[in-house]
């Protein structure tokens, strides 16, 4: 389509302005700024695609307000197609019109025809498409940064497959759907979330997979804890025992304190209780002895008044036996005298020889007897038979008694003494008796001997026949006779003597008794007996006293000994008196009692004594120990509690683990997420691939215009930049490659280069679609930044483009106009609205 | 002699594609594999088998949960208490140390070939029938070596092979699970080669037996059909072996195609789908392929993809069965004008070509290993393609309708 004429009725600042375009290739509108160049560009676009009458401002060049007071607004465009047909597009908008786009009338060769007759020829593009593709102005140029493949493609594909605009939508929708499900660097899209979930759940599974390890750890932990617990329990029991012991100790401490008090009371005492007992006994004995002594002394006093005998009385008493002897002798003498006379008579009668010898003196007789005794004859020995042994018996008895007494004296004291004394007395009596008997015997013996001699003498001298003569007998007879004679004489003499003795004695007794006594034996005896009994009595008493005295002495001696012993004991006990000793004994008893108490306490405290001692010394340590124990116990209890808790926990955890479906759940959970991921991924990929698929199909259907366009664009850019930029990559963003191979994003390009890129791309596009859509290219003052060199390059390009597309250039640059060597159309003031 | 062969219990493993299900349903799901295992053990006890072979991947990973470990240990104890010999290997999922296995030690439990070394174990049944089991366990998740060469030659006794492995493929990247050649395996001439790893039940050979029992419970829509174990019966005289599949998995996955020939109302659509899902006799998880999806408009598509809609359908199913997946398939070409048709076909083949697929999806692809895994799966690519077709077709149908109306 070539634009032949522009007819403005009312639009912007213009009214009734018409431009006839001289060239079907390159037309130049030249005018200063604000001359209305942009208005004409907007007019061309809006007549084709509708007015832009929104109250809000449009984004770019259409930003103007139609004059409200001018009606109708609009005008016409006149085109000629390749077949030579002419189309007039008239669009008018009057106040009150329902549509704000204005009312379009299309005439072909002067005939009004359906709009699509025209629009089908330009593939029914819309205004935006036209503006984006065919209009080059400063504002569009500025948008080169945001230019992307999608926009370009959209235009390209538009011209490919049927319904390509919808397919593009389909493609974009799928791409959008895909984008909603997944973004390369996003967090919100479902797949991105699922990706994170996958990671989390894998981590979770990895954790859960440690279950078995944990289980084993728990198991060994449980064992350890169990052992610890046991140990702690044992420790606790020990501590509690200690505590109990301490409590016991504390209770015992009272006892121990008592013990201490008792022990303090205790004194070291050296007390010999045996000694004390002995002393006690001694005291008793001493007292007894003292009693004895005083009783003895009393007795002795009693005896001391009595005179201890008189010698005369004793002599008299001693004469008693003599007297008795005298008495008997006297009696005997008397009897004898009678007897002798009888016997003399008898003798003389019996023996007549007797008369012969009677007168012989004794010497003669002795001679006779001696003579006769030379003869073996035994006659006188028979006289010896009458031996008296009393003396001997007495002597023996007394001796025995004395020995016995002596023995008894050593064994039984007093009795022995008595026996001894009696024995001695008897012995003495025996002794006297023996002597007296011996005298008598000697006397007899002499008599016998004289008789014999007489007989013998008689025989020899007296002639007497010895054979006839029983000399012995004769002599005996004679002797007898003579002895009778002698005996008669001695008897008489004796009797006289006795009488004189008696007389003497009587006188003594009379003296003694101080009274006269009949001088006969009986009275004398009585008197002597009287004296004797008196004397006996005296002697008895004396003896008694002596006994007492010796007794006393002995007792006193004993007493002294006892006292000595006692004193020794006292000295040993280190006391002076028995009282002191008693006191000391009392003390000893007290100590013994203390000892007993102490022993009792000690035995009850037994093993704890040492500790109690320590405790008692340091009373604070008890509390300290108590506190320490309490602390320890509570600490151990805490540990035990803690351990028990832990054990329980571990057990619970183990039970949990052994029942745990966590592994399955974690896996299931992961599997579920994986499934979700798989499903959503499928969805995402289906969307993505559909989008790609559609895109690729469009590519193919559009005969791969895009790649071709890209190729052209590269050429153009190379041309425009004199080879400084050699390549263009169009992805989401466009990058260019410099001659040295460096890639650059558009935003980093210089303004000039960016404009050249923009130019190249758009022109390439328009070139690509020219067979489908051939509309005029409107270039509105776009080269404001193009320097002369660039303007030259653009000139080349435009000439190249304008071979296929009509180009309308709106410029204020005279240099460009000069360069293009085209007669410009100008905006005359007269044509502007009045 | 009787034996049971199972593999790939994958205890702890999740079900895929069920994220929308109410949490109570998951209880049933997570117990499903356990339940299946328990049924297998029950079967072993009921049948008084002599041997139970476990061909790897008992656990879903090498750090199994204590719960699963304890559960498994309890189940194994039931066997060993009954003096049933258990021979087990670790697979690429449960490659772990024997020490970490909580199974109570027993002469009746044998973990074969720890440290990835082929081990040979000889046993004798109660009746005095001797047999040998040769196999190895994984210690790492990949084994690139062909382990068959390490298997000993068959002796006089009945011989089992026990291996968790995958057949050799041309793609080297896939030959990481003890790749083997079936013919070489046949050459070993073991009486029964008990395999694990492939979840699809199949016998690679019947003479001699080379058997994948499949997994014991399907876990997603690609593991369809009955799941369980094989019960083997050996004729001790002839050494002949007969095997019977025993279904133990409580939940079955099933794919159903529903064809649309024209536009339908939402109610019709629901009725139509429901009608295709009613013929079941156990808990079944359905994937519905809507063929002719281009007849659905955007709203309808949205509806049938809505999980609430699935739940409303599931509510009408027996055995707590679920509709868990709806896929669209377009059964006709894009309705475009002939010129464009060419462009679109050409563009499609270009865009969905392998290199372009990677290129186009690269931003997404690089975000996560799962994306990489998905994109390398032809099935996934195909699904994307199909969905794209459905989407575009549906969209263009709208355009055409609009155009027609105009």
| CATH number of the domain residue A109 falls in | 3.40.50.300
Confirm whether A548 is domain-assigned.
no
Assign 3-state DSSP to chain A and report helix, strand, coil percentages, each to 5.
70, 10, 20
* Facing B66 at nearest CB: one of A163, A658, A674: A658
Are A170 and B60 a contacting pair at CB < 8 A? no
User: Is residue B401 within 8 angstroms of chain A, CB to CB?
Assistant: no
> In this predicted model, what pLDDT tens digit does every residue of A248-274 receive, in sequence order?
877 878 888 888 888 888 877 777 888
Say which residues have a Cβ less than 8 Å from residue A10's Cβ, sequence separation at least 6.
Answer: A16, A66, A67, A70, A71, A72, A73, A74, A75, A833
In a domain, A455, yes or no: yes
- Omega before B380 within 30 of 0, i.e. cis: no
Q: B-chain residues within 8 Å CB-CB of A676?
A: 19
Q: Do B374 and A701 touch (CB under 8 A)?
A: no
Confirm or reject contact between A693 and chain B (CB < 8 A): yes
Cβ separation of B347 and A694 shorter than 8 Å? yes
Report the C-alpha gap between A174 and A562 in whole angstroms: 148
Count of A-B CB contacts under 8 Å: 178
Q: Does A662 touch chain B (CB under 8 A)?
A: yes
**pLDDT value at residue A53:** 62
Per-residue confidence band for A147, with pLDDT thresholds at 50, 70 and 90: low
| Residues of chain A contacting B380 with CB distance shorter than 8 Å | 678, 682
Could you say which of A212, A671, A683 has the minimum Cβ distance to residue B65?
A212
- List chain A residues with CB under 8 Å of B384: 682, 685-686, 689
In chain B, residues 6-35 whose CB comes closer than 8 Å to chain A: 12-19, 26, 29-30
Residue A523: strand, helix, or coil: helix
State both tokens at B284. Answer: 């079944």
The pLDDT of residue B406 is 33
What is the C-alpha separation between A800 and A716, in angstroms, rounded?
10
For residue A461, pLDDT beyond 50: yes
| A:97-136 residues touching chain B, CB 8 A cutoff | none
State the pLDDT confidence band at B403, using cuts at 50, 70 and 90: very low
With an 8 Å Cβ cutoff, are A687 and B100 in contact? Answer: no
pTM for this prediction: 0.52
- A686 chain-B contacts, CB cut-off 8 A: 384, 387-388, 390-391
Given A484, A503, A519, the domain boundary residue is A519
Q: A663 and B68 in contact by Cβ < 8 A?
A: yes
Q: What is the 3-state secondary structure (H, E, C) of A560-575?
A: HHHHHHHHHHHHHCCC
Please classify residue A664 by burial: count the beta carbons closer than 10 Å to its beta carbon, then call 0-12 exposed, 13-18 middle and 19+ buried: buried
Q: In terms of C-beta density within 10 A (0-12 exposed, 13-18 middle, 19 or more buried), how is residue A426 classed?
A: buried
Nearest CA to A528 among A501, A510, A547?
A510
A658 interaction partners in chain B (CB closer than 8 Å): 66-67, 70
Among chain A residues, CA nearest to B393: A690
C-alpha to C-alpha distance for B92 and B197, rounded to whole angstroms: 8
A 695-734 residues inside an 8 A Cβ radius of B: 695-701
Q: Do B374 and A675 touch (CB under 8 A)?
A: no
ipTM of the complex: 0.79
* A578 in contact with chain B, both atoms CB, cutoff 8 A: no
Select the residue of A160, A662, A668 nearest B14 (Cβ to Cβ): A668
Query: Could you read off the pLDDT of A179-197 as tens digits, one per residue?
Result: 888 888 888 888 899 899 8
Q: How far apart are CA A123 and CA A142, in angstroms?
A: 27
Say whether B63 and A212 touch across the interface (CB within 8 A). Answer: yes
- Which pairing describes strands B322-329 and B284-291: parallel, antiparallel, or unpaired? parallel
Mutating which of B221, B222, B342, B388 best tests the A interface, going by the most A Cβ atoms within 10 A?
Answer: B388
Q: Rounded distance, CA B403 to CA B406, Å?
A: 5
Between CA A691 and CA A708 the distance in angstroms is 21
Last residue of a domain, one of A486, A519, A552: A519
Which of 66-105 (B) contact A at CB < 8 A? Answer: 66-70, 100
Q: Which residues in chain A are closer than 8 Å to B15, comparing Cβ atoms?
A: 668, 671
Neighboring chain A residues of B99 at a CB cutoff of 8 Å: none
Q: Which of A119, A137, A135 is nearest to A79 (CA)?
A: A119
Helix axes A705-720, A788-801, angle to 10 degrees: 150
Place of tokens 């001359």: A35
| CA–CA separation, A422 and A416 (whole Å) | 10
Q: Structural domains in chain B?
A: 2-247 (3.60.21.10), 252-405 (no CATH)
Q: Tens digits of per-residue pLDDT, B32-83?
A: 899 999 999 999 999 999 999 999 999 988 888 888 898 999 999 999 999 9
Please give the structure tokens belonging to residue A308: 């201890």
CB–CB contact B343 A700 (8 Å): yes
Closest residue in chain A to residue B17, using alpha carbons only: A675
Residue A570 lies in a domain: no
Interface of A with B in 210-229 (CB under 8 A): 210-213, 215
Residue A530 lies in a domain: no
Which residue does chain A place closest to B387, by CA atoms?
A: A686
For residue B405, the model assigns a pLDDT of 35
Q: Which residues of B touch A659 (CB under 8 A)?
A: 67
Residue B34 structure tokens: 């356990």
- The two tokens of residue A723 are 């080879």
Distance from CA of B26 to the nearest CA of A (A): 9
- Checking if the pLDDT of B90 tops 80, the result is yes
Q: What pLDDT band is residue B3 in, cutting at 50, 70 and 90?
A: very high
Of B12, B18, B352, the CB nearest to A664: B12
B335 to chain A, any CB pair closer than 8 A? The answer is: no
Q: Which residues of B, range 253-292, sit inside 8 Å of A by Cβ?
A: none
> Is residue A334 included in any domain, yes or no?
yes
Name the one residue in this structure whose structure tokens are 């018409």.
A18
Per-residue pLDDT reduced to its tens digit, A513-546: 777 878 777 887 888 788 878 778 877 877 888 8
- For residue B348, the chain A residue with the least C-alpha distance is A693
State the Cα–Cα distance between residues B242 and B231, nearest whole angstrom.
8
Rounded to whole angstroms, the Cα distance separating A780 from A799 reads 16
Q: State whether A170 and B340 contact (CB < 8 Å).
A: no
Burial class (CB in 10 A: 0-12, 13-18, 19+), B173: exposed
Residue pLDDT, tens place only, B304-340? 888 888 888 988 888 889 888 888 877 665 556 666 6
Which of A465, A487, A519 lies at the terminal end of a domain, its last residue?
A519
**What CA–CA distance (Å, rounded) separates B233 from A412?**
131
Chain B CB within 8 Å of residue A656 CB: no
Residue A590: inside a domain: no
- pLDDT beyond 80 at A236: yes
Closest CA to B344 of A639, A637, A161, A754: A161
Confirm if A324 and A532 have CB atoms less than 8 A apart.
Answer: no
List of chain B residues whose C-beta atoms are within 8 Å of the C-beta of residue A162: 337, 339-340
The shortest C-alpha distance from B403 to chain A (Å) reads: 9
Give me the percent of chain B exceeding a pLDDT of 90.
48
Split into its structural domains, chain A has a count of 2
Burial of A173 (0-12, 13-18, 19+ CB in 10 A): middle
pLDDT surpassing 80 at residue A659? no
Under an 8 A CB cutoff, do A690 and B388 touch?
A: yes
Q: What was the pLDDT predicted at B404?
A: 40
Which pLDDT does position B402 carry in this prediction? 46
Segments forming the whole domain that contains residue A119: 1-125+775-834
- Indicate if the pLDDT at residue A76 is higher than 90: yes
Buried residues in B245-273 as b, exposed as e (16+ CB within 10 A): ebebbbbbbbebebebeeebeeeebbeeb
Q: Do A675 and B18 touch (CB under 8 A)?
A: yes
pLDDT surpassing 90 at residue A812? no
Asked whether residue A263 is assigned to any structural domain, the reply reads: no
**Confidence class of residue B217 from pLDDT cuts 50, 70 and 90?**
very high
pLDDT digits (tens, 9 = 90+) for A281-306: 888 888 888 888 888 888 877 776 55
Closest CA to A182 of A673, A672, A668, A686: A686
A674 contacts B16? CB cut-off 8 A? yes
Q: Closest by alpha carbon to B202, among B238, B167, B173, B253?
A: B167
**What 3-state class would DSSP assign to A749?**
coil
pLDDT(A704) > 70: no
Q: Which of A163, A660, A687 sits opposite B65 (nearest CB)?
A: A660
- Is a pLDDT exceeding 60 seen at residue A407? yes
A693 contacts B351? CB cut-off 8 A:
yes
* Longest Cα–Cα distance in chain A: 272
CB-CB under 8 Å, A161 with B343: yes
Give the per-residue pLDDT at A305. 59
Task: Give the sign of the dihedral formed by CA B395, CA B398, CA B399, CA B401.
Answer: positive
| A212–B367 C-beta distance less than 8 A | no
């Amino acid at each position: 389509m070539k634009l032949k004429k522009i007819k403005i009725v009312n639009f912007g600042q213009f009214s009734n302005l018409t431009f006839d375009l001289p060239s079907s290739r390159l037309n130049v509108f030249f005018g200063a700024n604000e001359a209305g160049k942009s208005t004409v560009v907007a007019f061309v676009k809006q007549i084709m695609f509708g007015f832009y009458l929104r109250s809000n401002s449009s984004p770019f060049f259409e930003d103007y307000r139609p004059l409200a007071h001018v009606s109708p607004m609009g005008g016409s465009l006149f085109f000629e197609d390749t077949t030579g047909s002419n189309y007039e597009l008239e669009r008018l908008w009057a106040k009150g019109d329902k549509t704000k786009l204005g009312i379009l009338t299309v005439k072909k060769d002067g005939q009004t025809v359906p709009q699509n007759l025209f629009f089908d020829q330009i593939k029914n593009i819309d205004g935006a498409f036209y503006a984006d593709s065919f209009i080059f102005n400063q504002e569009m140029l500025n948008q080169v940064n945001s230019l992307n493949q999608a926009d370009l493609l959209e235009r390209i594909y538009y011209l490919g497959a049927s319904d390509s605009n919808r397919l593009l939508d389909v493609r974009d929708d799928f791409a959008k759907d895909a984008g909603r499900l997944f973004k390369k660097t996003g967090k919100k899209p479902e797949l991105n979330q699922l990706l994170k979930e996958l990671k989390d759940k894998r981590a979770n599974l990895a954790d859960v997979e440690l279950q078995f390890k944990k289980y084993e750890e728990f198991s060994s932990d449980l064992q350890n804890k169990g052992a610890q617990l046991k140990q702690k329990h044992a420790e606790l029991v020990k501590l509690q025992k200690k505590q109990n012991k301490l409590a016991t100790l504390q209770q015992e401490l009272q006892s121990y304190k008592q013990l201490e008090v008792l022990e303090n009371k205790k004194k070291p005492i050296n007390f010999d209780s045996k000694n004390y007992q002995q002393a006690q006994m001694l005291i008793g004995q001493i007292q007894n002895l003292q009693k004895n002594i005083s009783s003895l002394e009393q007795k002795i006093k009693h005896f001391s008044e009595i005179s201890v005998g008189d010698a005369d009385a004793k002599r008299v008493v001693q004469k008693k036996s003599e007297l008795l002897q005298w008495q008997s002798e006297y009696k005997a003498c008397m009897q004898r005298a009678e007897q002798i006379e009888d016997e003399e008579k008898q003798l003389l009668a019996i023996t007549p020889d007797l008369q012969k010898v009677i007168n012989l003196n004794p010497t003669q007789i002795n001679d006779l007897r001696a003579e006769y005794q030379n003869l073996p004859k035994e006659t006188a020995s028979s006289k010896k038979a009458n031996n008296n042994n009393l003396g001997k018996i007495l002597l023996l008895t007394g001796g025995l008694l004395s020995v016995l007494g002596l023995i008894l004296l050593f064994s039984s004291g007093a009795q022995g003494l008595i026996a001894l004394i009696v024995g001695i007395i008897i012995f003495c009596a025996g002794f006297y008796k023996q002597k007296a008997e011996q005298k008598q015997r000697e006397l007899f013996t002499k008599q016998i001997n004289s008789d014999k001699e007489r007989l013998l003498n008689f025989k020899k001298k007296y002639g007497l026949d010895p054979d006839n003569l029983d000399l012995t007998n004769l002599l005996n007879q004679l002797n007898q006779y003579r002895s009778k004679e002698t005996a008669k004489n001695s008897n008489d003499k004796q009797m006289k003597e006795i009488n004189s003795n008696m007389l003497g004695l009587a006188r003594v007794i009379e003296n003694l008794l101080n009274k006269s006594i009949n001088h006969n034996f009986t009275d004398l005896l009585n008197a002597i007996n009287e004296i004797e009994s008196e004397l006996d009595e005296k002697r008895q008493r004396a003896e008694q006293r002596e006994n007492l005295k010796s007794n006393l002495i002995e007792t006193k001696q004993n007493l002294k000994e006892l006292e000595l012993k006692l004193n020794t004991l006292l000295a040993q006990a280190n006391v002076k008196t028995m009282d002191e000793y008693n006191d000391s004994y009392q003390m000893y008893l007290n100590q013994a009692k203390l000892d007993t108490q102490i022993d009792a306490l000690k035995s009850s405290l037994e093993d704890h004594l040492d500790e109690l001692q320590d405790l008692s010394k340091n009373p604070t340590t008890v509390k300290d120990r108590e506190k320490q124990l309490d602390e320890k116990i509570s600490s151990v209890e805490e540990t035990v509690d803690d351990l028990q808790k832990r054990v329980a926990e571990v057990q619970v955890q183990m039970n949990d683990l052994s029942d745990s479906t966590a592994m399955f759940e974690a896996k299931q959970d992961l599997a579920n997420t994986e499934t979700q991921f798989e499903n959503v991924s499928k969805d995402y990929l289906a969307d993505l691939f559909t989008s790609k698929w559609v895109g690729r199909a469009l590519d193919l259907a559009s005969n791969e215009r895009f790649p071709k366009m890209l190729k052209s664009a590269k050429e153009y850019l190379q041309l425009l930049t004199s080879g400084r930029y050699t390549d263009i990559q169009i992805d989401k963003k466009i990058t260019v490659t410099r001659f040295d191979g460096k890639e650059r994003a558009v935003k980093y390009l210089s303004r000039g280069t960016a404009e050249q890129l923009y130019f190249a791309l758009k022109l390439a596009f328009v070139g690509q679609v020219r067979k489908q859509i051939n509309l005029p290219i409107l270039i509105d003052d776009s080269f404001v930044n193009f320097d002369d060199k660039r303007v030259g390059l653009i000139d080349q390009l435009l000439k190249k483009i304008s071979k296929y597309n009509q180009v309308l250039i709106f410029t204020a640059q005279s240099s460009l106009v000069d360069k293009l060597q085209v007669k410009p159309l100008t905006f005359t003031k007269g044509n502007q609205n009045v | 002699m009787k034996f049971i062969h199972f593999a790939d219990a994958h205890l702890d493993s999740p079900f895929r594609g069920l994220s929308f299900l109410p949490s109570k349903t998951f209880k049933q799901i997570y117990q499903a594999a356990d339940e299946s295992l328990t049924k297998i053990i029950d079967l072993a006890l009921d049948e008084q088998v002599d041997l139970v072979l476990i061909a790897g991947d008992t656990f879903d990973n090498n750090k199994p949960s204590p719960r699963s470990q304890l559960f498994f240990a309890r189940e194994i104890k039931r066997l060993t208490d009954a003096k049933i010999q258990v021979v087990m290997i670790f697979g690429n999922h449960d490659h772990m140390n024997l020490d970490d296995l909580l199974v109570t030690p027993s002469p009746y439990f044998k973990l074969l070939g720890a440290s990835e070394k082929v081990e040979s174990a000889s046993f004798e049944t109660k009746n005095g029938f001797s047999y040998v089991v040769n196999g190895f366990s994984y210690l790492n998740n990949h084994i690139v070596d062909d382990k068959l060469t390490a298997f000993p030659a068959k002796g006089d006794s009945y011989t089992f092979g026990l291996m968790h492995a995958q057949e050799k493929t041309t793609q080297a990247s896939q030959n990481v699970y003890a790749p083997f050649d079936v013919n070489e395996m046949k050459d070993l001439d073991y009486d029964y080669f008990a395999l694990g790893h492939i979840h699809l039940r199949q016998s690679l050979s019947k003479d001699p037996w080379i058997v994948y029992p499949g997994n014991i419970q399907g876990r997603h829509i690609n593991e369809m059909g009955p799941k369980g174990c094989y019960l083997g019966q050996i004729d001790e005289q002839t050494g002949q072996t007969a095997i019977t599949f025993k279904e133990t998995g409580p939940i079955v996955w099933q794919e159903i195609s529903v064809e649309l020939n024209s536009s339908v109302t939402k109610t019709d659509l629901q009725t139509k789908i429901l009608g295709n899902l009613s013929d079941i006799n156990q808990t079944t998880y359905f994937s519905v392929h809507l063929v002719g999806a281009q007849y659905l408009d955007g709203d309808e598509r949205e509806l049938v993809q809505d999980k609430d809609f699935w739940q409303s359908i599931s509510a009408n199913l027996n055995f707590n069965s679920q509709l868990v997946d709806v896929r669209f398939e377009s059964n006709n070409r894009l309705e475009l004008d002939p010129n464009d048709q060419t462009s679109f076909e050409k563009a499609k083949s270009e865009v969905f070509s392998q290199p372009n697929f990677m290129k186009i999806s690269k931003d997404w692809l690089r975000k996560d290993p799962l994306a990489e895994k998905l994109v390398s799966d032809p099935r996934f690519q195909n699904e994307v393609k199909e969905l794209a077709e459905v989407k575009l077709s549906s969209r263009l149908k709208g355009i055409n309708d609009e155009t027609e109306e105009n």
